[in-house]
């Protein structure tokens, strides 16, 4: 059975997880720079409500922790999506379970698009069963032969009627 739809959905889910990984790396690299800390300190000084709330070192620590968490979750999600991609045609159950687990993991960091796409692909892989082509081909051939016999007999009957009508002047 062709599983093009599931394959495309899995690729889309993996791509969105990959985009999340790239964004997490960018966020991690930016949050550890001195310029970011200096800009954040200026924002704290300009806004009196934030002066007692959080320091730039605390924010940098929180952002670093969150990006580490996001990277781990996204890497797990993309690995599960790749496993699902590899086994789409060979083992649909394993592929479906892997896609669903990848979707569940991706929702942990609010990667909603990847979550939806992977869950849909996983459900489709689990629900859509393989078709048994051997019996369908036999039935198709039998039905097809039967139709050809009927058409042949009907054409033969029509040609005989036409000949009778042409020969007999009293049939209109």
Distance of CA 134 to the CA centre of its chain: 29
Residue 110 region by backbone torsions, left for phi larger than 0, else alpha for psi between -120 and 50, else beta = left
Global pTM value: 0.69
What's the whole-number mean pLDDT along residues 155-162?
68
> On the CB side of 38, how many CA atoms lie within 13 Å of its CA?
3
Domain ranges for the chain, please list them.
4-127, 131-172
Residue in the structure block whose two tokens are 């005989």: 160
| CA–CA gap between residue 56 and residue 25 (Å, rounded) | 19
Say whether pLDDT at 22 is over 90.
yes
pLDDT tier at 151 (50, 70, 90 boundaries)?
Answer: low
């Amino acid at each position: 059975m062709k599983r093009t739809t599931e394959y495309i959905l899995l690729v889309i889910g993996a791509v969105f997880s990959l985009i999340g990984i790239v964004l997490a790396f960018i966020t991690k690299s930016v949050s550890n720079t001195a310029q970011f800390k200096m800009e954040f300190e200026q924002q704290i000084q300009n806004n009196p409500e934030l002066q007692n709330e959080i320091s730039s070192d605390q924010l940098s620590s929180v952002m670093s922790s969150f990006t580490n968490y996001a990277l781990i979750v996204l890497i797990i999600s993309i690995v599960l999506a790749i496993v699902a991609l590899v086994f789409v045609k060979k083992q649909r159950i394993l592929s479906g379970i892997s896609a669903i687990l990848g979707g569940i993991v991706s929702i942990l960091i609010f990667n909603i698009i990847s979550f939806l796409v992977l869950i849909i692909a996983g459900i489709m892989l689990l629900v859509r069963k393989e078709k048994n082509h051997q019996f369908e081909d036999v039935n198709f051939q039998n039905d097809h032969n039967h139709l050809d016999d009927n058409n042949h007999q009907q054409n033969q009957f029509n040609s005989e009627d036409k000949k009778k009508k042409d020969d007999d002047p009293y049939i209109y």
